[in-house]
């Protein structure tokens, strides 16, 4: 009889149901199973049965919605508390960055295989032209809608620096570039928007100058020159397709200038803050 009870327990039946079925008190049943299976095996089975029960309940859409909402709030609350610790925050950002790079590498590796490539393409079609026309699916909205949402989100990003004209800027280097341009007498536009052929329908550039509209300036303190350079290269390529004679200057710190020069494509000039000031005075203002 007891071997049958153990078999039923290991098959996923609830302890409460087994207690009623075999006319045993719940405490007595637990102790008997623990003695028979051993503590490790007993706990492993308990956890497994709990997981099976949750999986079964998750098939109900109403329960699934409540469960995911509750878990999401719990995880966000806990993570917010942990992020107050500078050491945890530093390690979290480090691991997230590493995971993102590894994830991209893994996807590129898998795309070399025909089976994964075909499945990937099939899934991508779910967010393709048909659903875009129907206004459904991933990125189903029109380009104008996506541009509007993206520009709205851009305004919400935290900026802790103030430019010479009261603009909210990301870092001290952007403030420096703006100040140099203002002192030299140039009318600059911060975060100029260019309509291009990408998913959002636009890209933004840190600075453009009224007196030299095809000269674009990016100011960056990004600590991963290769990653940032890839983004700048793509941005420059998209804009150049629309404005063939466009030129770009990237202003960065002295200790990272060499790396940016190595990774950025030809046609993009890299300058340190001091070099940029000299360039503005001698080449532009002069």
- Domain ranges (residues) in the chain: 1-82, 86-140, 153-285
Q: Can you give the pLDDT at residue 161? A: 76
Q: Can you give the pLDDT at residue 215? A: 93
Task: Tell me how far apart the alpha carbons of residues 139 and 133 are, in angstroms, rounded to a whole number.
Answer: 11
> Quick check: 238 and 203 in contact, CB under 8 A?
yes
Which tokens hold the place of 250? 């990237």
Task: Tell me how far apart the alpha carbons of residues 237 and 219 are, in angstroms, rounded to a whole number.
Answer: 18
Does residue 194 sit in helix, strand or coil?
strand
pTM: 0.48
Class of the domain covering 153-285: alpha beta
Neighbours of 41 (CB within 10 A): 14
pLDDT mean for each 10 residues of the chain (286 residues): 76 82 84 84 86 84 84 87 88 81 77 79 61 48 50 50 83 91 91 84 89 92 90 92 93 94 92 93 70
Q: Can you give the pLDDT at residue 33? A: 84
> Quick check: 248 and 267 in contact, CB under 8 A?
yes
């Amino acid at each position: 009889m007891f071997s049958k009870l153990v078999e039923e327990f290991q098959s996923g039946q609830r302890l409460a149901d087994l207690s009623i079925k075999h006319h045993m008190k719940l405490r007595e049943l637990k102790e008997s199973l623990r003695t028979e299976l051993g503590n490790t095996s007993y706990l492993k089975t308990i956890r497994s049965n709990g997981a099976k029960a949750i999986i079964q309940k998750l098939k109900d859409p109403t329960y699934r919605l409540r469960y995911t909402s509750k878990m999401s709030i719990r995880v966000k609350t806990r993570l917010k508390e942990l992020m107050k610790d500078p050491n945890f925050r530093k390690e979290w950002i480090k691991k997230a960055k590493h995971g993102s790079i590894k994830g991209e590498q893994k996807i590129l590796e898998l795309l070399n295989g025909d089976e994964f490539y075909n499945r990937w393409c099939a899934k991508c079609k779910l967010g393709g032209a048909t659903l875009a026309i129907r206004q459904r699916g991933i990125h189903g909205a029109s380009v104008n809608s996506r541009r509007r949402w993206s520009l709205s989100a851009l305004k919400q990003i935290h900026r802790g620096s103030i430019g010479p004209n009261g603009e909210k800027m990301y870092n001290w280097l952007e403030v420096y570039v703006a100040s140099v341009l203002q002192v030299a007498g140039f009318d600059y536009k911060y975060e100029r928007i260019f309509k291009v052929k990408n998913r959002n329908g636009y890209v933004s550039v840190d600075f453009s100058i009224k007196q030299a509209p095809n000269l674009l300036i990016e100011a960056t303190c990004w600590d991963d020159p290769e990653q940032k350079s890839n983004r700048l290269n793509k941005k420059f390529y998209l804009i150049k397709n629309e404005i063939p004679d466009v030129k770009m200057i990237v202003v960065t710190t002295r200790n990272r200038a060499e790396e940016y020069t190595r990774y950025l494509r030809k046609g993009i000039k890299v300058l340190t803050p001091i070099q940029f000031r000299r360039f503005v005075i001698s080449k532009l203002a002069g």
